[in-house]
Amino acid sequence: MSQLIRTLTGRAGPRGVLLLALVLGLSALLAACSSSGGSREAAQAATRTALAQSLGSQTTAVEAAQTTPAAPDADAPAAATPDDALAGANATATAQAVERETTRAAAAAAASVAQAATAEAAAPMMQEVQSYGVDPSQGSLAWVHPPITIQAEGYMEYDYANRFLATVAEDFVLAADITWNTQFGTTGCGFVVRSDGNEEAINQYLIIATRGAQGHVLFGVQKAGKVDLDETVDIYANGIDPLFGWQNDQTNRIAVVARGQTFTLFSNGTRLGDIQGPLDYDKGFVAFVALNESGTTTCTFENAFLWLLN
């Protein structure tokens, strides 16, 4: 395992996602008015008469204003009055207000359903968080990860993954059911936490469960891409947790509670111990990791969640 840890270096960094929202609004209304007048000169009247005759004896607007109005057409729509316009505007405003209120009520109802579903889904995790001595009301659920399998092949290889890699965690509870299948005991599955994501010289903590010597859990410190063996803590998990399964295809629930520089490790609900992080890695990314000495290592992570603490 020492050789494995010495050769562990970072190869992949977190990929952030930039989301941009743009909201545009535009409204403009213009009104125009016109006026007309008439002439009092007889010559102008004659001119209008001649013009009307040349256009087929049509009556001009001015002449219509100077003559007795014709009887209204029964089939023609009535002219709009100021009161009618005001009533129409009020009706439109009322309809718009009702539509907005309906939309708001529907959105509130949908949000309430979503909150209830989230609370129901988070209830088992809240109970688990509490079993680790943490008050769940002092934090919130960051994500629940779907099942994921990581496979590492070749000599001294490793790989890691997380669909929510952009989440930055400071104080937290991280837990997962880990099932392994390896060709050698000096391999492992676990977590990287508070990683700075520096591909060239990564800084992070590691919590690795391994099959070696009937089951151990290691806490390691990676500085500038290299693991500091002097700061590595080896816990004989099988000697503390009677449920710890070290054989192939067995599953252990591994959890870590991080508060400040204190990391508390759990195996199948059993407290393995408290570890003081020697370096001030106060926050960073978390991910699942598979370490391989030789051959093939397969690590499956299920029922995994991250609970961020305030």
The mean pLDDT value for 191-210 works out to: 94
Q: Are the C-beta atoms of residues 254 and 190 closer than 8 Å to each other?
A: yes
Q: Are the C-beta atoms of residues 304 and 175 closer than 8 Å to each other?
A: yes
So what CATH class is 2-8+129-309? mainly beta
Q: How far apart are CA 213 and CA 185, in angstroms?
A: 8
pLDDT band at 187; cut points 50, 70, 90: confident
Q: Are the C-beta atoms of residues 171 and 280 closer than 8 Å to each other?
A: no
- Which residue stretches of 132-151 are H helix? none
pLDDT band at 70; cut points 50, 70, 90: low
**pLDDT at 19 > cutoff 50:** no
Q: Which of 30-34, 121-125, 243-247 has the highest mean pLDDT?
A: 243-247
Q: Which two tokens stand for residue 274?
A: 């408290």
**b vs e for 169-191, b when ≥16 Cβ sit within 10 Å of the residue's Cβ?**
bebbbbbbebbbbbeebbbbbbb
Q: Which of 310, 12, 308 is nearest to 172 (CA)?
A: 308
pLDDT band at 175; cut points 50, 70, 90: very high
Q: Which of 166, 226, 173 is nearest to 197 (CA)?
A: 166
Q: Which of 63, 1, 17, 16 is nearest to 38 (CA)?
A: 63
Q: Read off the pTM.
A: 0.64
**pLDDT at 133 > cutoff 90:** yes
Output the pLDDT for position 185.
77
As beta bridge partners, residue 181 has 298
Give burial (CB, 10 Å; 0-12/13-18/19+) of 225. Answer: middle
Output the pLDDT for position 237.
96
**pLDDT at 191 > cutoff 60:** yes
- Which residue stretches of 67-150 are H helix? 82-131
Q: Which of 264, 251, 186 is nearest to 219 (CA)?
A: 264
- Give the CB-side neighbour count of residue 37, counting CA atoms within 13 A: 4
Q: Which residues contact 269 (CB under 8 A, 6 or more apart)?
A: 131, 253
What percentage of the chain exceeds 70 in pLDDT?
Answer: 70
Mean pLDDT estimate for the chain:
77
Q: What is the pLDDT of residues 75-112, one digit of tens each?
A: 655 666 667 777 777 778 788 888 888 777 777 776 56
Q: Which residues contact 156 (CB under 8 A, 6 or more apart)?
A: 3, 4, 7, 292, 293, 294
Q: What is the pLDDT of residues 243-300, one digit of tens each?
A: 999 999 999 999 999 999 999 999 999 999 999 998 889 999 999 999 998 889 999 9
Q: Which two tokens stand for residue 163?
A: 């669909």
Q: Are the C-beta atoms of residues 305 and 168 closer than 8 Å to each other?
A: no
| Domain range summary for the chain, segments of one domain joined by + | 2-8+129-309
